[in-house]
Structure 1
Amino acid sequence: MITSSLVLVICLALLFDYTNGFHDAANSIATIVSTKVLTPFQAVLWAAAFNFLVFFFVKEHNVAKTVSKIVNEHFVTLHVLLAGLIAAISWNLITWWFGIPSSSSHTLIGGFAGAGITNALYMGANGISAINLKLVLTTIAYIVLAPLIGLIIGYIVTIIVLHLSKSARPASAEKWFKRLQLLSSAALSYAHGGNDAQKVMGIIYVALIAAKVIGTGSAMPEWIPLACYSAIALGTLSGGWKIVKTMGSRITKITPLEGVSAESAGAITLFFTQYFGIPVSTTHTITGSIIGVGLTKRLSAVRWGVTINLVWAWIITIPVSALIAAGVFALLRAIA
């Protein structure tokens, strides 16, 4: 049955998707803006178009299926989903305000899990029994693995590209790499849309099951992907300029060649994890790729002080989101 609570959950889910877009826009456009291949306005238009283009080509939503199973169905209620979304949106806005490229994916998962655990405790059950521990631990493992994979691929791609272009004239090479950066940025934007929008699809799908609008195992209604890809694309159009500055210049100085390598490495990593339904962080992945590119020059080319601060933000995202969600759930339960 469609209730006001269900409508609110869907609206908040799409609002989160929107904040994900402008929070994570930097992942796709930071290098292409910092190398002056496109202006900021052109870059967000380019990225948003490829965020939405995924809707026409991706029909298997493996990441959405994974997110929908983070909290065991017995403990999922609309209040759990509301609390998780409020926590995720709050942390997204806080980190955006301070220009911290934290993970929108992990704040959503942390909020959902935290609210589910709290609901289990209120029901007199073991809190850990509320979550699919295997999926949560896999997600946590990829806090380390996603940037590491991105770093390794970014390093390898850069070395290969440098080797292939070593005999080219610098001016000619830079011209071609600026053109190639349009393709690599498009691929990263496409991967970002396909990876991140699916997480919200999983939340809305679970909400429909919790509200008994559809049954467990039912096919996902077509309007959910359409709404989610639209929301993330609109969010990307809004930009995220504070985070663009961090990603595009504060980690390491990026040239067009390095931009192509970093974006290609990020896209490859995201396509791989999306295929296996692993809800990784786009932010972590591209940050690792940028570091890998920087390491091909020298160890000191990477500003490790900035990088360490980013890692701390990544580490605390899931527990902080879970705690915020727990508090919001307790409040919702008290006033319900």
Structure 2
Amino acid sequence: MFEVLVSDPSQVAEARRRAAAAAVEAGFGEVAIGQASLVATELSSNLIKHGGGGRLLVGAGNRTLDLLALDSGAGMADVQACMADGYSTAGTRGQGLGAVQRLAQSLDVGSWPGGGTVAWARLVSAEGDGPGGLAQNIPRPPVLRNAGVWAVQTPMPGEDVCGDGWDWHGDAAGRTVFVVDGLGHGTEAALAANAALAVFRRHADAPPTEIVEAVHQGIRHTRGGAIAAARIDWASATVTFAGLGNIAGALLLPSGQTRRMVSLNGTAGHNARKVQSFEYPCPDNALMVMHSDGIGTGWSGERYTPLLWRHPMLMAGALYRDFNRGRDDATVVVCGTGRP
């Protein structure tokens, strides 16, 4: 993903332009590009009108485009009311979020008084080549907090590539999540991260300790990095976590409690005195968070309790918004601990 700062109205056009370019990269047709530009405009305009400025994150996939609008403004007391056409607190026509809701194939908004707003929209291009618009003949999926693993990831400011990486593997018994932070930043860090991801994919069905050991041995030809693997087991309601270096892992419980997970000292690919896993009980209505050290660790889940029941992208976005250090690659990975 890349980030566009939107602190005054003149930057809305830049957000629209860059979102359109990302839509081209994602393989959108001419009509879909225009529709994506409209969604980016509405989300960016809301950052100015209601949030006092913020940032728009844009990520391109294969015929998909993710737009994540983040602000630290006053927040909305009634999100559903704000989604309705004609509702406005800023003297406008009140059609911004309504337009986004009509065009997006997935949409979720988290906001509460004093907590700012996080709005996520996923746009899906219609099948086939040509000028087609966004897909309209697919049902809008419900917001499922346990559906897959979701992440916000950006390179260090000024860099074109990101030295972090993440992936996951799911099966009938649970899911395994892997995060790597290549040492430093830039091209060499990205090479280390990509090598680690390749090893993970070959060993994704192994226990976390075996994954970490395999990656440690398999990236010795690179500059190395910090790594962690976490396995959620649905039958035992546990998470097994193994890490080397400063990849943070935590469970956010419905009570608001944050249960931190332990990573051992070391640098994968270079020095690892010991590889060990730790097991943590977790209910099926918790969220698991893993992040690189581009995100500060001073956060507490209690502040983000209103997001525990929303789509995981909202939690990832809120943590990125509030704790991105701004001087390194940054990755936040979030998933529900329950069975999909």
TM-score interval (norm. to shorter): under 0.3
The structure whose residues are more often helix, as a share, is 1
Q: Which has the higher strand share?
A: 2
Q: Does 1 or 2 have the higher relative contact order (CA < 8 Å, sep 6+)?
A: 1
